[in-house]
Structure 1
Amino acid sequence: MSLYQKKPFWILGSIFVLGFIALFMIRLDLIQKYFFRTQSLPISAIKSPGDKETWMNIVQSHRKIGFSHSRFSAEQDGYRLQETVRMRINTMGMVQDINLKTIGRLNRDFSLADFDFNIKSGRFNFNVTGSVSGDVLTVRTNSAGASREADIPLKAKPYLLPAITAAMSAAELNSGDKYTFDIFDPATMGQTAVMVEVLGKEDLQVMGEIQSATKVALNFKDTSQLAWIGDSGEVLKEKGILGIQLEKTTRQDALRGLAAAASADLTQAASLASNVLLEDLDRLATLRVEISGIPLQVVQLNGGRQAFKANILTIEKETMTNFPADIHERNLQNLEKVFLKPGPFIQSDDQKIQNLAQEIAGTHAAPLDKVRMLVEWVYKNIDKRPVLSLPDALSTLDNRVGDCNEHAVLLAALARAAGIPCRVEAGLVYLKGRFYYHAWNLVYLGRWITVDAVYDQVPADVSHIRLVTGSPSQQLDLIGIIGKLQLRVLDH
C-alpha cells in the first residue's frame, strides 16, 4: 500500500506557507505582502529609524518551530532591509524545514527600489526579484531553471511594511486610528487590501522585562493578526493563525536548535470531523451538506455542479456524455480563453510542458480522452508527498513530487498546453471520517467538469466541496475560514 493510501495529502501545508507569508509575517518584508500604499499616514513626516537588528522565535503551543532574523540599516542612497526565516513544519505527519530569505533596497522616502525573495524547502526552490521604475513594478520569477518576467502597474509608490510599522510607532498613533494598505500578492501579481487598526497601548513582557507597546490588528482575507510594536518601532510579538506566535528574543536563543517534532500537524488541526461515515464515494451521485460559521461572500459555493440555497449545499456528480468532438479556441467564451493562458505558476507555454502534453495526449484524441490521459499521467508519475513551497508546474515536473497543489498546477499546465481550458479549485474532500482542505481541477469540455489527479478521478467524486475556484492564488481566500467553517452532512 502506498504512503498516499495511508495518509491524506492535502493543501494545508501550502495554504499555511502562503498564509504565513501573507498574513502572519505581515510586518516582515516577505514577498506576499511586499508592497502597499498608505491612505493617510504621511511617511515624509516620520523621522528616519535607526539601524536595527531583530531576532524572533516562532512558537506554536509553547513549542518553538522556527525563528526570524531581520536587519534594517541606512545606506548612502536610502535603506537596506534583509530578513531570513526558518521554520520546521509538520504537515500530514511529515516534518519539513522551510527557509525564506528577502533582501529589499529602499529609497530615501522609504519607497521600494528593488527586492530579491527566495523560498526553499527540500528539492523545491523558488526565486522572485523585482524593481520599480516609475509606476511599474517589473517582477522576475525563476523556477526549475526557467525565468519569467511581468510588468505590474502600481496604484502608488510601493513601500515595505517594516518601514511603515516603525513609522506608525513613531507617529504616536491613537487608539481607534485605522489605515488601509494595498499589498502586493505574487500569486495574483496584483494588489489586495489590508486594514490596520490601532487598538491602543499595552504593557508586554519581553525577554523577562515589561515593555510598553502599541497593539495593532491587521485584517486580511477575513482573518486577523495581532502585533505589538515597541516604542522604538520594533515588532515585539505577533499572534496569528493556528495558534502561532512570533516573540522577540536574543540571537543565541533564536539559533538554539528546533524540536524534531516541530509544529502540531497542521493538516489534522484544520480538518473537520464528519457527522456521518461516507462509503463508496465513487458511487454517490449526490451529496447534501449544511454550511455555516463563515461569511458566505468569501466563498464560491454556487455554480457548476454545486447549488447553494439557505445554507444547504447540493453537489451533483457530472454526467460524462454529449461532449463535442473537439475544442477550438475561436469558439470559446472569454472566461474559457482566460484559462488557456499561461501564468507565473502554470507555465503551459514552456517547451517541456508543451512536449509532454503532446507525448501524453497527442493531437487527434477527443478532448475527454485527452483529459483522462493527462489525469492518469499526473496520478501515476507524481509522488504524493506534502511540499512546503509555492507550487508551480515546472518544479513539480522536474521534482516529480508534491501534494494536491502540485498535482493541480501541473495538470492545469498540461491541459492548457493540450488546448483544454483548465483552472484550479480548492475546498474540502472527505477521507476516513473527516473533511480535509484539498485542491483539484476544473476542465472545460464544452462544459466545466471536475477532475482530481491525486485520486485519478474523471469526474471527481461528490465529496469534493468547492470553496474557491480560478487559480492557485484563490487558495489565500481560505485563510479566513480555516477554523471557522462548520459542515454537517444531511444526506447522500
Structure 2
Amino acid sequence: MRRILLALVPAFWLGTLGAAYATVPDQTDWMTVLLGGRKVGHIQIERERQDGILTTTQMLALDLSRSGKPMHLGNMSRSVEGPAGEPLGFAARTHMSSMDSTVEARPDDSGRYQVTTTVGGQTRTVLMGWPGNALLAEGQRLATVAAGRQAGSSYRMHEFDPSSQQVIDVRVDILGDETVALPGGAMRLSHQRQTLSLAHGRQTLDLWVDDQGIARKGLMSLLGQPLEMLACDRACAMAPNQPVDMLRAATVDSPRWLPAYVRSVPMRYRVHVSGNIGQPFIVTDEQNVTPLGGDDWMIDVGVAHPGRQAPPQPADSKPNAWLQSDAPAIRRLATTAVRGARDDLQRMRRMRQFVSAYITGHGLDVGYASALEVLRSREGDCTEYAVLLAAMARAQGIPARVVSGMVYVDRFGGASRLFIPHEWVQAWVDGRWQSFDSALKHFDSTHLALASGDGDPWHFAATTQLFGNLQIRQAVADMDLSTPVGGAPAAPAGNSGSNGGRGG
C-alpha cells in the first residue's frame, strides 16, 4: 500500500503552476508544499524560451514517512510548447522505487508522438496521437488569461499530465479577487475553483492566480487533510521538512470489530461519502453497489454474481510498462509457480501462494515498483504483491487486473479496527472475475473495491485521495442481513463464502 502523491499533484496543479507569461524572461520560481500545516516538500519551476519555443520544467520533491520509515519521493515534468501553447513534446521522470520511471515524447513526421516509457529497466515505445484539445502548461496558462477574472463566470479546459499521460476534464469557476497572505507578503489574486472529472468521481481544488494566469497558491483536500502549495523564495521552499506519516493518515475507521469468522461470510456496508465526488466504489462480480440517496451507499461483498463486470478486453492480457508479462524472467517465474496445475483456477491459486512466499522483504521506503523490479528485489507491500501476481497471470495467458481499494485490519499504526488502502488482483477464471490477494494470502468480504486497472500507479493514486471523504457507518454480516441497512431491502444471504467460493 503506497501513497502516490506524485501522480496526483503534478496532474492537478503543476500545469498551471508552471505556466509562463509570454513577456517574462527565463527564470526559476519556487513553492513550498504543506500537508496538514506541516512542510513536506517543495516545487522548483524553470522556464526557458528559445526561438519562440517554451520549455517548462517542474520538479516536485516530497519527504513523507510510513510507520516511522522515511519515504523520499520525486517527480519531474517537462512541457515543450510553441508560441500559442501548441504542444511540441513532453517528458517526465518519477522516483518512487529503486529505479526511476521515465517518459519521453517527441513528434514524428506524421504529427503523432513517439512516446518512450522506461519502467523497471524495461523500455517500450508507442505512437500516440495528440488527444484532441488537451493542453500542456503554457496552453493552460493562456486559457486562464483568456477567461479573465470576472467573478461568477466559468470556463472549461482539458489538462494533459505528462507523467500519467492522462487527460483531465476541468471546469473552472471564478469566485472573485482576494488578498492572499503568502510567505513573501500579501498579493491580490483571482480565486478560481477547479472541478476535475476523474474516472471514479470528482476532485475539487482551489487556485489563486495572478493577472498573468500563474497560480501563486493552491489548496485541496488529501486524505482528510489540507494540502497547500504557496509561492515563496528559494530559502523558504528549501527549508527543512517535517514528514507526515501518510500510512496512518490513509485510514478509515471501522464501525465495529470484524473477527475472522465474520470476514469469512458475505458482508453489507453502509458508507457515507462527502465532498460531492459521486460514486467512489465499483461494481464487480463479487461486489454490488446500491445508492441509498444523498451521499450514502450500500456495498454488498462476498457473493459471486458472474456478469456484473464486462468480460476481459484485449488490454487485460497484454504486457505494459508496469506489468511486464512478456519479460523472460516473469515468464520463467510463472512457469515455475504453476508446475503441475490442471486449470486456470489451480494456476492462479499456485501463483498466489508462490508470490506470497516469494516476497520476503517489506520495503517501506519504496513508493511503487513494477513487476520486474519486484522480481529482482523480492520486497514491497500490497502494491508489489499485486503487480507481480498480475504480471505472472498474464504471462500464463490469464487476463488479470490490479484492484485498488481498502481492507479491514484489527490494528494498524497504534490504532485499532481500521480499513486501510490495499491492492489485490482480479483474474478471469471460469467465466467471471475472481479475486486473489497475495499480500494477505486470502481474499475476504472486508475487501472493498474502488477501482481496477492495468497496474499503473496513477490508478492507485486516484483512489487514495478518496479516503478522507469516506465514512463506514455500518458493517453487517451475512447472518444479520435480516435487518436492512439504511432502510434498503435485505438481500438473500449467499452461501458462496468470502471468495465467492473460488478466489484466493
Q: Same fold by TM-score, threshold 0.5 exceeded?
A: yes
- Stretch of structure 1 that moved more, 425-434 or 361-370: 361-370
1:445 to 421, 425, 429: 429
Q: Name 1:302's counterpart in structure 2.
A: 283
CA distances 1:82-118 after superposition (whole Å, capped 9, x unpaired): 2222110123442211122233322222222222211
Letter in 1 for 2:429: L
Q: Name 1:463's counterpart in structure 2.
A: 446
Q: Name 1:117's counterpart in structure 2.
A: 92
The 2-side partners of 1:426 and 1:347 are apart by 19
Cα 1:338–1:188 shift into 2, 3 Å: farther
Q: Name 1:246's counterpart in structure 2.
A: 229
User: Does structure 2 retain, via aligned residues, the 8 Å contact 1:391–1:406?
Assistant: yes
TM-score norm. by structure 1 comes to 0.83
Counterparts of 1:359-378 in structure 2 under 5 Å? 359-362=336-339, 365-378=342-355
- Stretch of structure 1 that moved more, 174-183 or 236-245: 174-183
CA distances 1:339-359 after superposition (whole Å, capped 9, x unpaired): 112223222122222222122
Cα RMSD for the two superposed structures: 2.9
TM-score norm. by structure 2 comes to 0.81
The 2-side partners of 1:280 and 1:334 are apart by 32
2:298 to 308, 312, 326: 312
Report the alpha carbon displacement of residue 267 of structure 1 after superposing the two structures with TM.
2.6
CA distances 1:307-366 after superposition (whole Å, capped 9, x unpaired): 3334332212569xxxxxxxxxxxxx9625441122232221222222221222247542
The 2-side partners of 1:268 and 1:165 are apart by 36
1:482 to 459, 467, 470: 467
CA distances 1:55-91 after superposition (whole Å, capped 9, x unpaired): 1111123321111111112212411212222110123
User: Does structure 2 retain, via aligned residues, the 8 Å contact 1:124–1:389?
Assistant: no
The 1-side partners of 2:66 and 2:206 are apart by 24
Q: Name 2:11's counterpart in structure 1.
A: 22
Instruction: Indicate the percent of aligned positions where both proteins have the same amino acid.
Output: 21
Q: Name 2:378's counterpart in structure 1.
A: 400
The 2-side partners of 1:285 and 1:371 are apart by 22
Report the alpha carbon displacement of residue 258 of structure 1 after superposing the two structures with TM.
2.4
3-state SS of paired residue (2:321): coil
Report the alpha carbon displacement of residue 368 of structure 1 after superposing the two structures with TM.
2.0
The 1-side partners of 2:36 and 2:262 are apart by 39
Q: Name 1:223's counterpart in structure 2.
A: 203
Residue 273 (structure 1) aligned with residue 262 (structure 2): no
2:118 to 138, 142, 167: 142
Report the alpha carbon displacement of residue 20 of structure 1 after superposing the two structures with TM.
2.4
Letter in 2 for 1:489: Q
The 2-side partners of 1:335 and 1:122 are apart by 30
The 1-side partners of 2:142 and 2:46 are apart by 13
Q: Name 2:493's counterpart in structure 1.
A: none
Q: Identify unmatched segments of 5+ residues in structure 1.
A: 1-9, 35-42, 320-332
Report the alpha carbon displacement of residue 412 of structure 1 after superposing the two structures with TM.
0.8
User: Does structure 1 retain, via aligned residues, the 8 Å contact 2:160–2:166?
Assistant: yes
Structure 1 residue runs of 4+, over 4 Å off?
46-49, 185-190, 294-297
The 1-side partners of 2:272 and 2:160 are apart by 31
Q: Name 2:363's counterpart in structure 1.
A: 385
Q: Name 1:197's counterpart in structure 2.
A: 173
Q: Name 2:494's counterpart in structure 1.
A: none
User: Does structure 2 retain, via aligned residues, the 8 Å contact 1:165–1:229?
Assistant: no
1:428 to 394, 398, 406: 406
Report the alpha carbon displacement of residue 186 of structure 1 after superposing the two structures with TM.
6.4
Report the alpha carbon displacement of residue 302 of structure 1 after superposing the two structures with TM.
3.0
User: Does structure 2 retain, via aligned residues, the 8 Å contact 1:201–1:212?
Assistant: yes
User: Does structure 1 retain, via aligned residues, the 8 Å contact 2:352–2:437?
Assistant: yes
3-state SS of paired residue (2:7): helix
The 1-side partners of 2:396 and 2:370 are apart by 18
3-state SS of paired residue (1:357): helix
Q: Name 2:498's counterpart in structure 1.
A: none
Residue 285 (structure 1) aligned with residue 235 (structure 2): no
Cα 1:63–1:308 shift into 2, 3 Å: closer
Report the alpha carbon displacement of residue 405 of structure 1 after superposing the two structures with TM.
1.8
Q: Identify unmatched segments of 5+ residues in structure 2.
A: 411-416, 478-504
Residue 98 (structure 1) aligned with residue 73 (structure 2): yes
3-state SS of paired residue (2:195): strand
User: Does structure 2 retain, via aligned residues, the 8 Å contact 1:88–1:97?
Assistant: yes
3-state SS of paired residue (2:259): coil
Q: Name 1:178's counterpart in structure 2.
A: 154
